[in-house]
Chains A and B, each alone.
Chain A
Amino acid sequence: GDSVTQMEGPVTLSEEAFLTINCTYTATGYPSLFWYVQYPGEGLQLLLKATKADDKGSNKGFEATYRKETTSFHLEKGSVQVSDSAVYFCALILSYNTDKLIFGTGTRLQVFP
């Protein structure tokens, strides 16, 4: 079935380190892909999105490129900050069923000074 697979966390980094959180998907058709972030005590917020192959989503220094050939949408940031500590969710919407957002299990990022 349609699904999203993320790397397990927690990911622990020092401030200014490079971040990669892997996300791969299985889907029929042509999904749109998203990264959501959940800061402690808050709801999920959309971080970035990409709606077609080779699109690059970016926001707040984070980037992710929609790679159809590898069915991936890895999240990257060149220099993380303590304030980036949160849980990150990869998600997709299927083009033929736009009523449901399929989430991955989430990856917790912890950044230390």
Chain B
Amino acid sequence: NAGVTQTPKFRVLKTGQSMTLLCAQDMNHEYMYWYRQDPGMGLRLIHYSVGEGTTAKGEVPDGYNVSRLKKQNFLLGLESAAPSQTSVYFCASSYVMTLGFEKLFFGSGTQLSVL
């Protein structure tokens, strides 16, 4: 059972470079999310998707773009990386988000450093 797979696991960028993080889930989940984790700040929601072809902004969307062209994939793009985007990025998915909801499934994270 693959669950939620994130690629790459590590990446180092120079300021101004672009890159795309890929999240893939094989559980047929409707909801997918991108979070960033920073020391002392917990997880903060960047963008999320409630279904194929839809995306929405979370708490900290600036500097990021996302796409959900296929239900199983959720891409996070950085068009022009900045040092402030150095963080650990987590993707998650769920079938539905309601009270008593089915648990979120998280990927193992991507460590991104922007120099």
Contacts and interface: CB of A to CB of B under 8 A. Distances in A.
A89 B42 contact: yes
Contact of A99 (B50, B92, B100): B50
Contact of A89 (B4, B43, B45, B99): B43
B41 to A, nearest CB: 6
A105 B104 contact: no
Interface of chain B: mostly helix, strand, loop or mixed? loop
A51 B48 CA distance: 23
Nearest to B45: A100
Interface stretch (A10-18, A39-47, A64-72, A76-84): A39-47
Contacts of A28: none
B99 A93 contact: yes
Contact of A105 (B42, B48, B50): B42
B103 A99 contact: no
A98 B59 CA distance: 14
A32 B104 contact: no
Interface of chain A: mostly helix, strand, loop or mixed? strand
Contacts of A99: 31, 48, 50, 56, 97
B108 A93 contact: no
Nearest to A97: B97
Nearest to B31: A99
Nearest to B91: A43
Interface string B49-78: 010000010110000000000000000000
Q: Which 8 A-B pairs have CB atoms at the shortest separation, nearest pair first?
A: A43-B106, A46-B103, A103-B42, A103-B43, A105-B42, A44-B106, A43-B108, A98-B97
Given A32-B100, A46-B104, 9 more contacts: A32-B99, A32-B101, A42-B109, A43-B107, A43-B109, A44-B90, A89-B43, A98-B97, A99-B48
B98 interface: yes
